[in-house]
Amino acid sequence: MQRLIVFNNVTLDGYFTGPGGDFSWAHGAAASDDAEFNAFVAGNASGGGMLLFGRITYEMMASYWPTSAAMQAYPKVAEGMNRSRKVVFSRSLTHAGWNNTQLINTHIVTAVRKLKQEQGPGMAILGSGSIVAQLAPEGLIDEYQFVVNPVVLGAGRTMFEGLKQRLALKLTQSRTFKNGKVYLCYQPTA
């Protein structure tokens, strides 16, 4: 059985996107000036697992990672993103053109249960808060990885919007970077 993790950037006030879907706060100059943080990100991107996306995150990622700008700015991350098997969950998309992408428009919980049964190195949700909020109460997420960014937005979206029950987690890892970002890793306690 494959493990499913969530990896998301969040702000100090708990948002994973700002108003209007703004995500620029996660990629400021401070992030690129920290070699240790850049090595951490590149190491995560080379994991080789399956990536799960909702439509909005998929469209954002598909419009950036296959470009020459991404290849120049983040070559290891771009290589990993483009090489990885990807699944996009959407009821409105009719085609997913980014290489190695499968489009699934059936019930997400049933589909993820089936994907977890496949052999493989694991799966990761990047962004896609609506997916996190649907899968978390079903106990389908094995680990939550957050990079807390030293910024406060005051508004935006949390990745747990719509969650109707408490989700108890235990801290399993943490790491602090020079750029002020903090990596936190949690597993469900139940």
| Residue 31: per-residue pLDDT | 52
Compute the radius of gyration of the chain from its Cα atoms. 16
| Residue 41: per-residue pLDDT | 74
Write out the H or E segment, with its range, that includes residue 142.
Answer: none
Q: Which domains does the chain have, with CATH numbers?
A: 4-188 (3.40.430.10)
Per-residue pLDDT of the chain (190 residues; tens, 9 = 90+): 899 999 999 999 999 999 988 888 887 655 567 888 878 877 766 566 899 999 999 999 999 999 999 999 888 888 989 999 999 999 999 999 999 999 999 999 999 999 999 999 999 998 888 899 999 999 999 999 999 999 999 999 998 988 888 999 999 999 999 999 999 999 999 7
**Maximal CA-CA distance, the chain:** 44
| Residue 32: per-residue pLDDT | 60
| Residue 3: per-residue pLDDT | 95
Name the region of 48 (left: φ>0; alpha: ψ -120 to 50; beta: rest). Answer: left
Residue pair 186/38 in contact by the 8 Å Cβ criterion? no
